[in-house]
């Protein structure tokens, strides 16, 4: 299958899908303290619609799909969606990004449904700091979720850490020994500001995310059915209005050479 290519010659083979705008945490860098105005049930894509869009996307050369949110594991019967997408011929990789709170309960069934691997977001190994950054989260839920993911055979398990100066930059070594002990991988992420465009903090040697715009192979789908060419762009193309194929092609065509800024949505509504 010849992959989709944008006008700068980048092959676009990776679709990130936000399956819900809801979340059971309120991470300070992702979601305003008061929450966001949630979409109605009718606005949110049904599982049938998402699977159909994925079939179209895979037919056009997408071979890697990641489910994100909000928090994907708060959407009811998420394993049904995973199973529907996993069956699409030609799809090579199906992954999910989660805060891990519900993984203990769901890891086994997610694996059974066809999920390959998970990224779990965890910004501190200190229970109080974790509670502070997530505005109320319980660290032990996530640690148990990580162990459940490993026991279920989801592989590789990666931990996403948004590195914040003065908050968790003193925990890099602790994270490294935790990861070595469990045999998991770490991804340190530079904190980003959607409205300022691109990372809000300078580059350093620890963070490997976000990737360089020149190497971007991504396209995004919001929970309410809009294709987004770039995290840092306000361009959105509605799959329901113009159809999935045309919306995806237009989004790929509209991909900017490098990210600019996004004012329309919060990170929680795009999925990182
Ligand atoms: N709720 C899930 C989770 O937390 O993993 C999935 C959605 S979350 C928006 C996806 C990823 O985006 C997480 O790893 C999160 O840490 C990251 N993220 C959110 N806001 C960010 C920001 N301002 N800068 C960098 N990464 C961010
Ligand atoms: Fe929710 Fe994930 Fe955003 Fe935290 S990072 S508020 S868990 S969507």
Domains for the chain: give ranges and CATH numbers.
4-269 (3.20.20.70)
User: Kind and range of the H or E element at 163?
Assistant: strand 157-163
Residues within 6 Å of ligand 2 by CB: 23, 25-27, 30-31, 69-71, 99, 121, 268
Could you report the per-residue pLDDT of 140-171, keeping only the tens digit for each?
Answer: 999 999 999 999 999 999 999 999 999 999 99
**What ligand has the least distance to the C-alpha of 96?**
1
Mean pLDDT, the chain, as a whole number?
95
**pLDDT score recorded for residue 247:** 98
Cβ pair 27, 70 in contact under 8 A: no
Could you report the per-residue pLDDT of 198-223, keeping only the tens digit for each?
Answer: 666 666 778 888 888 889 999 999 99
Distance 69 CA to ligand 2 centre (A): 8
- pLDDT > 60? residue 1: no
**pLDDT score recorded for residue 196:** 85
**pLDDT score recorded for residue 134:** 98
Residue 23 in tokens: 């979340």
pTM to 2 decimal places: 0.96
Closest CA to 86 of 61, 60, 58: 58
């Amino acid at each position: 299958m010849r992959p989709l290519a944008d006008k700068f010659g980048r092959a676009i083979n990776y679709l990130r899908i936000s399956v819900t705008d809801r979340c059971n945490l309120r991470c300070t860098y992702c979601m305003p303290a008061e929450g966001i105005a949630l979409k109605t049930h009718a606005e949110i894509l049904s599982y049938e619609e998402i699977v159909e869009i994925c079939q179209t996307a895979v037919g056009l050369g997408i071979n890697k799909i990641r489910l994100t949110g909000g928090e994907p594991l708060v959407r009811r019967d998420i394993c049904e969606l995973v199973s529907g997408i996993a069956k699409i011929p030609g799809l090579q990789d199906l992954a999910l990004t989660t805060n891990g709170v519900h993984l203990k309960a769901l890891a086994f069934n997610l694996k059974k449904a066809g999920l390959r691997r998970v990224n779990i977001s965890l910004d501190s190994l200190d229970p109080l700091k974790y509670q502070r950054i997530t505005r109320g989260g319980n660290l032990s839920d996530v640690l148990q979720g990580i162990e459940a993911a490993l026991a279920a055979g989801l592989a590789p398990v990666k931990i996403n850490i948004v590195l914040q100066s003065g908050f968790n930059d003193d925990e890099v070594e602790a994270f490294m020994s935790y990861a070595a002990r469990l045999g998991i991988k770490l991804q340190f992420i530079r904190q980003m500001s959607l409205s300022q465009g691109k990372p809000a903090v300078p580059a350093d040697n620890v963070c490997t995310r976000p990737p360089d715009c020149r190497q971007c192979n991504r396209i995004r789908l919001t929970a309410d059915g809009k294709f987004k060419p770039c995290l840092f762009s306000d361009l959105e193309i509605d799959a329901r209005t113009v159809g999935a194929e045309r919306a995806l092609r237009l989004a790929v065509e509209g991909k900017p050479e490098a990210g600019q800024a996004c004012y329309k949505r919060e990170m929680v509504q795009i999925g990182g």
